[in-house]
Amino acid sequence: MERYNPRDSEPRWRQKWDDHRSFEAAEISDKPKYYVLEMFPYPSGKIHMGHVRNYTMGDVTARYMRAQGYNVLHPMGWDAFGMPAENAAIERGIHPAKWTYENIDTMRGQLKLMGLSLDWSRELATCDPKYYRHEQAMFIDFMEAGLVERKVSMVNWDPVDHTVLANEQVIDGKGWRSGAAVEKRELAQWFFKITDYAQELLDALDTLERWPEKVRLMQRNWIGRSEGMRFSFDLEREDGTPLNEQLTVYTTRHDTIFGASFCALAADHELTKKLSQGSNEIASFRAEVAALGTSEEVIERAEKKGVFLGLYARHPFRKGVRLPVYAANFVLMGYGEGAIFGCPAHDQRDLDFARKYGLDVIPVVAPRDVDPATFTIGDEAFLDTEGDSVVLINSDFLNGMSVAEAKAEVARRMEEMGIGSRMVNFRLRDWGVSRQRYWGCPVPVIHCPSCGIVPVPKQDLPVVLPEDVSFDKPGNPLDHHPTWKHVSCPTCGGKATRETDTFDTFVDSSWYFARFVSPHADLPVSEEAAKYWMPVDQYIGGVEHAILHLLYSRFYVRAMTKTGHMHLEEPFAGLFTQGMVTHETYKDQAGRWLFPEEVVKSETGAVHIKTGEPVTVGSIESMSKSKRNVVDPVSIIEEFGADTARWFMLSDTPPERDMEWTEAGVEGSFRFVQRFWRLVSEIVEATTAQGAVPDSFGAPATDIRRAAHKALQAVAQDIEGLRFNRAIARIYELVNSLQPMVRAEGLAPDTAWALREAADILCQIANPMMPHLTEECWQLLGHETMLAETQWTKPEPSLIVDDTVTIAVQVNGKRRDDLTIPRGAPKDQIEAAALNLDNVRRAIGELAVRKVIVVPDRIVNVVAG
Ligand code: ANZ
Ligand code: ZN
């Protein structure tokens, strides 16, 4: 028997599928639809194991659903704009478009090697004007619908490179390339008004039943709805003279007002700015905060610092008490009022700040059972607020109340005094989509000195990126281009300039799933196609996109619905987030990372192949270039075939968990591929092509049929539940149970028939994971169809029920024995079998059997006397 040779077989089947266009989705059909999508890749240059895992899962689902009779849409495209292409241009002088399209070509070829059942006729790249012209058209519609705003906001500014930096490009307060201290600058930018949908985006999370709870929670936290109060303090100077200005703060803990010991403003708060004009100290503090950049994460990690502003806030309830007012680095301008009152006892940041500046720490909430007089705060703020376990202390009229009661009382009083009101606040900010870069979709507007902002007329779209750009100067190449931005105003015909900002690449990826339903339509989406195909039934991707990409997409379908491009509530009905692919790490004697292929492992330890020196085996970590613990999917596919890689990728580990890639594991999968091939070959040799169904099946044949039909049902359920590792375990089981049957000499005709049927079923259920091997086996079994186009056999109900039951047999109410019989056996058969049991016969002895009570499948009671 010949070994199975994937190098010969795999390309052949891929060619056949292509020739048959087996995976092109029918436009719109009577069949039920199923849209399965994996997050599209960034064309970085080559595929990695994370892609292999992601796309294999999607492909198993797509192939399975097709075999269940669905019209399946399974497309692929490229998230092709973004900084790496521009960096390649700057560093290596290669044009971003050339770099990107070359990468796409390479990666398309690599993906094809995997044998994915993709509809390549729908391929798209976001950097293609055929795609982004629709993005531009929709932007104009969004503008008209009031979903877009241009407003001034803070950016990270590199004073040497004269360029805006993304948060990731600010490293320890310095520009990543220039090393210069970053400044914050105000810049007019484009925003999508996602905050208009904050409540709706939050509420609709409850309808997403097929999303992981953890992702819904992350979105909830990101949207960050809080119920609090906005209220104002009167201000006075050092000498007690009042200011005719008030300080408005936002708080969610108004219950702690008696614990307030200072107020703090953002460095960019209007009042801070004003005061900085007369004070070097305040001005230099503002510069220091600016150097932190705009990343909230960095700000959160920084040491809490501030500067006294020479003002005091009058406590609203404590006569004569005044709170020093600071500017502080942990108060953000974009949130609430950009100002807070600090209560160090019950907020960690406030506590750190208070300790640094020697401010009072007054506990006002304490466990119910402690003595308020002795309750103090150490290094940690007291954060409990729940229920009746804590009470207000040191708080005048609030003493003894729960936190909830105290909040209600403070709100009532402040509202009565007219100094504040309750309000709901969201953490979610409007989505800033402007980027001052070249390799992105141009924002389609024109600035005219007399008409202001004028959208580019739709018939003039797309606004195409100029090709002749240079990257030798820092800043935005669109801005430097000698001619591109100079245009005449579409309204008045006067001299005007194009907007040189391009879109954040998250804009491109917020609607690509909708473009796939009608990728060649003249509109962004054909309504009819969207009505048929949307929403995506199963979306699969990495958890790193759990917040922004998914939230933006959810906003986008709402905006597209508002502007009449389609009518949809949510883009992704089902979401699955897969785990990472991990690998051991290796270091040589000098502490340098080694690639797995540079290392050979033996019983005595790991050795560096080239030098023969011992290698230190380190921890198992997510594959990453920096630690070199990566395995190239292409070299695996070349050596073992795509089916082996796919099979191993899904074996053993539940798909949501991290899975460890091991050389031994791949080899094991390859051996299984061979075993599978051998088994089917042996069945083919031992049996003849499938004839008529035998009149009856004996016990061995029935066993085979039961095993096969049960596997058929179980694998279906496991794939539907995305439990791929369990589906694989079932296939192993079936192979194990069939193998001994084939070896038997002289097969009875019913057994031969059952084996043949089992081989067919085996090919069907393994096909989603190992599409090439199973096609080859299917052909060997004499079929002229392709599995790619074949519906799965339906399991026979009688074969998948558990066939026997064990019931208790009593004599005069006393249990004497158990009886194992076919489920649903007729009463007289059960009765006869029960009376025939040795223990039952003995118990009856000389007595006469008066009555036998049979409860089928449950119990038998023999009444004797
Ligand atoms: C007084 C207070 C006392 C607070 C206390 C907390 C604990 P969420 O729940 O996220 O809405 N805050 C308000 N605006 C801020 C800003 N611009 N920058 C930084 N912090 C700000 O958080 C609301 C709480 O965050 C508010 O409640 C305020 O501090 C702070 F024991 O007010 B709190
Ligand atoms: Zn004009």
The pLDDT of residue 856: 83
Amino acid at 54: N
Range 459-479 average pLDDT: 92
**What was the pLDDT predicted at 299?**
82
Ligand 1 test: best mutation among 252, 254, 380, most atoms within 8 Å of CB?
252
Average pLDDT over residues 407-424: 97
Pocket of ligand 1 (CB under 6 A): 224, 226, 250-253, 256, 266, 330-332, 335-336, 338, 340-341, 343, 346-347, 425, 427
Write a three-state SS string for 543-560: HHHCCHHHHHHHHHHHHH
Instruction: Point out the ligand nearest to the CA of residue 377.
Output: 1
Task: For residue 216, name the pLDDT band (cuts at 50, 70, 90).
Answer: very high
Residue nearest to atom 27 of ligand 1 (CA): 251
Ligand 2 geometric centre to CA of 48 (Å): 50
| Placement of tokens 């290094």 in the chain | 379
Burial of 248 (0-12, 13-18, 19+ CB in 10 A): middle
Report the pLDDT value the prediction gives residue 177, as an integer from 0 to 100: 78
User: Per-residue pLDDT averaged across 298-302, rounded?
Assistant: 84
166 pLDDT exceeds 90? no
8 Å CB contact between 175 and 166:
no
Average pLDDT over every residue of 300-323: 94
Reply yes or no on whether the pLDDT at 281 is more than 90. Answer: yes
Ligand sitting nearest the alpha carbon of 491: 2
Q: Beta partners for 502?
A: 435, 442
Question: Looking at per-residue confidence, does 89 or 499 come out higher?
Answer: 499
Do 555 and 510 form a contact (C-beta atoms < 8 A)? Answer: yes
What is the CA(494)–ligand 2 centre distance, in A? 6
Q: Rounded to the nearest whole angstrom, what is the distance from the C-alpha of residue 447 to the centroid of ligand 2? A: 8
Return the residue whose CA atom lies nearest to atom 29 of ligand 1.
Answer: 251
**Hey, whose CA ends up nearest to atom 28 of ligand 1?**
251
How many Å lie between the centroid of ligand 2 and the Cα of residue 139? 20
Residue of the nearest CA to atom 8 in ligand 1? 226
Instruction: List pLDDT tens digits, range 375-386.
Output: 999 999 999 998
Q: State the distance from the centre of ligand 2 to the C-alpha of 441, rounded, in angstroms.
A: 23
Ligand 1 atom 7: the closest Cα is on which residue?
A: 347
Residues in the chain, overall count: 865
- Across all residues in the chain, what is the average pLDDT? 94
pLDDT of residue 150: 97
The Cβ of residue 371 has, within 10 Å, a number of other Cβ atoms equal to 8
Query: Which pLDDT belongs to residue 744?
Result: 60
d(CA 750, CA 497): 82
Q: What is the pLDDT of residues 317-368, one digit of tens each?
A: 999 999 999 999 999 988 899 999 999 999 999 999 999 999 999 999 999 9
Residues with Cβ within 8 Å of 648's Cβ and at least 6 positions away in sequence, in order, are 661, 665, 666, 668, 669
**Mutation probe of ligand 1 site: the residue of 335, 337, 377, 394 with most atoms within 8 A of C-beta:** 335
pTM: 0.86
pLDDT at 747 over 70: yes
d(CA 677, CA 768): 16
Of residues 361, 417, 395, 418, the one with CA closest to residue 407: 395
| Distance (Å) from CA 335 to ligand 1 centroid | 9
Nearest CA-CA partner of 43 in 438, 505, 469: 505
